[in-house]
Amino acid sequence: MVDVDQYKIMEDALRDRGVRITRQRQAILSVLAAATDHPDANELLVRASAIDPSVSLSTVYRTLTVLEENGVVQRLSFEGVPAKFETTDAPHHDHIIDVETGDVIEFRSEKIEKLQAEIAAELGYEIVHHRLDLYAKRLEN
Amino acid sequence: MVDVDQYKIMEDALRDRGVRITRQRQAILSVLAAATDHPDANELLVRASAIDPSVSLSTVYRTLTVLEENGVVQRLSFEGVPAKFETTDAPHHDHIIDVETGDVIEFRSEKIEKLQAEIAAELGYEIVHHRLDLYAKRLEN
DNA sequence: AATGCACATGAGAACGATTTGCAAGAAGAA
DNA sequence: TTCTTCTTGCAAATCGTTCTCATGTGCATT
């Protein structure tokens, strides 16, 4: 478990950027640092409430916005479901969504990253960010 | 302009699948057939109302759902904006979203298509569908 | 440790896109 | 034309998310 380190890194990064560390933000940050899945705002509220019952849903959303603006979390907006969140400690990756179970698997392909940049450049664009979601089902095998 | 043909193809496809062609659906279909952009539900209501003022927003949404289920339109859910719709007459393609203007540019890359399938297969998955959106900005040049 | 002020919070109302319940209307097979 | 089933308009309901506003609280400064 590297939760403690991960938490510290995020809190320090935020402090450096002048973001106030409140009780509620500590609770939410530690939940995010400990998460190995991709929780949505409601799930984060449940988990953070266990640490600090005073956390409200509004604050979860507000905090997530702040964390996103400061680059410590990323918002994942999949189709038709509430946004999910993950810390940005992991390098960039894309997602495979299991259409049968809803599971989300992460992957990364340098080839695809490079191809995307090439295509954009050809069309006169420079990529700011992208989303590549593969909706798939398990192979029988 | 191939609107008429495009319209006929869609209506026939729907009839074949037992979908009732109502006045409202005719209006919405013809708007979709004529569209060269990616309108959202509200914009479709405005355009369809010009043809048949009895069309309501509920019907636009309900019709779009039916059309999507029957494969004649595709729903494009970009981040933070209402869903956009396009007819499925064009072959599959991905999108570049100009983050400054909101413009949507279509493109297709066989290489990327193939890579995606490969990656999914490696992880034991078979792609059902995917979305690749490049949020980009124009190159200065 | 106490102070001050800008910023954060909880509760709930507001929002915007989309969906739904219901009674009335119409498509299309017979 | 008739009958059955599906569709519609309208308004209300949903649902994720954001906002309002009165109250609390980090934390730089004493």
Q: Nearest to residue A132, comparing CAs of B131, B109, B107?
A: B131
What does the alpha-carbon distance between residue A39 and residue B55 come to, in Å, rounded to a whole number? 40
Mean pLDDT of all residues in B33-40: 94
User: Cβ contacts of residue A46 below 8 Å, gap of 6+?
Assistant: none
Instruction: Look up the pTM and report it.
Output: 0.83
Mean pLDDT of B115-138: 92
Instruction: Report whether pLDDT(B66) > 80.
Output: yes
Across the interface, whether the CB atoms of A105 and B120 are under 8 A apart is answered no
| Alpha helix (H) residue ranges in B1-141 | 3-16, 23-34, 41-51, 57-69, 110-122
Q: How far apart are CA A53 and CA A125, in angstroms?
A: 47
Phi, psi (deg, nearest 5) at residue B51: -90, -45
- SS (HEC) of B122-133: HCCEEEEEEEEE
Distant-in-sequence, close-in-space partners of B66: CB < 8 Å, separation ≥ 6: B19, B25
Q: Give chain A positions within 8 Å (CB) of B123.
A: 96, 105, 107
CA distance B88 to B76: 11
Whether residue B128 lies within 8 A of chain A, CB to CB, comes out as yes
**Predicted confidence band at B4 (pLDDT cuts at 50, 70, 90)?**
low
CA atoms within 13 A on the CB side of A13: 18
Interchain CB contacts (distance < 8 Å): A and B: 105
**Strand-pair category, B94-98 with B125-138:** parallel
- Closest nt by CA–C1' to A22: D26
Is residue A110 within 8 angstroms of chain B, CB to CB? no
**Is A107's CB within 8 Å of B119's CB?**
yes
Looking at the complex, does the CB of residue B40 fall below 8 Å from at least one CB of chain A? Answer: no
- Residue pair A7/A33 in contact (Cβ under 8 Å)? The answer is yes
Q: Once rounded to an integer, what is the mean pLDDT over residues B70-79? A: 91
What residues of A are in contact with residue B124 (Cβ under 8 Å)?
Answer: 138-139, 141
Nearest nucleotide to the CA of A57, by C1', is C10
pLDDT of B100 above 80: no
Q: Which nucleotides of D are covered by protein (CB under 7 A)?
A: 6-12, 15-20, 25-27
Instruction: Answer with the residue of higher pLDDT: A89 or B123.
Output: B123
- Is residue B80 very low, low, confident or very high in pLDDT (cuts 50, 70, 90)? confident
Banded model confidence at residue B3, pLDDT cuts 50, 70, 90: low
Whether A131 sits inside 8 A of B128 (CB atoms) is: no
| Helix H or strand E encompassing B87 | strand B84-87
Band (B141; pLDDT cuts 50, 70, 90): low
pLDDT attached to residue A2: 47
Rounded mean pLDDT of B82-91? 89
pLDDT digits (tens, 9 = 90+) for B37-55: 999 999 999 999 999 999 9
Distance B43 CA to C26 C1' (A): 26
Q: What is the pLDDT of residue A121?
A: 94
Determine contact, residues B133/B117, Cβ cutoff 8 Å: no
Residue B64 distance to chain A (closest CA, Å): 15
Nearest-Cα distance to chain B for A49, in Å, is 28
Predicted local confidence at residue B134, as pLDDT:
92
Q: Is A123 on the interface with B (CB under 8 A)?
A: yes
The single-letter code of the amino acid at A49 is: S
Picking from A115, A126, A130, the nearest residue to B109 by CB comes out as A115
Listed as ranges, residues in chain A with pLDDT below 50 are 1-2
Please give the average per-residue pLDDT across B104-125, as a whole number: 92
- Over pLDDT 70: what percentage of chain B? 96
Higher pLDDT, A105 or B30: B30
Q: Long-range contacts for B97-105 (Cβ within 8 Å, ≥24 apart)?
A: B97/B133, B97/B134, B97/B135, B97/B136, B98/A125, B98/B136, B98/B137, B98/B138, B99/A128, B99/B135, B99/B136, B99/B137, B100/B137, B100/B138, B104/B37, B104/B38, B104/B76, B104/B78, B105/A123, B105/A125
Average pLDDT (B111-130) is: 93
Query: Is A136 at the interface with chain B, CB within 8 A?
Result: yes
Shortest distance, CA B37 to any CA of chain A (angstroms): 18
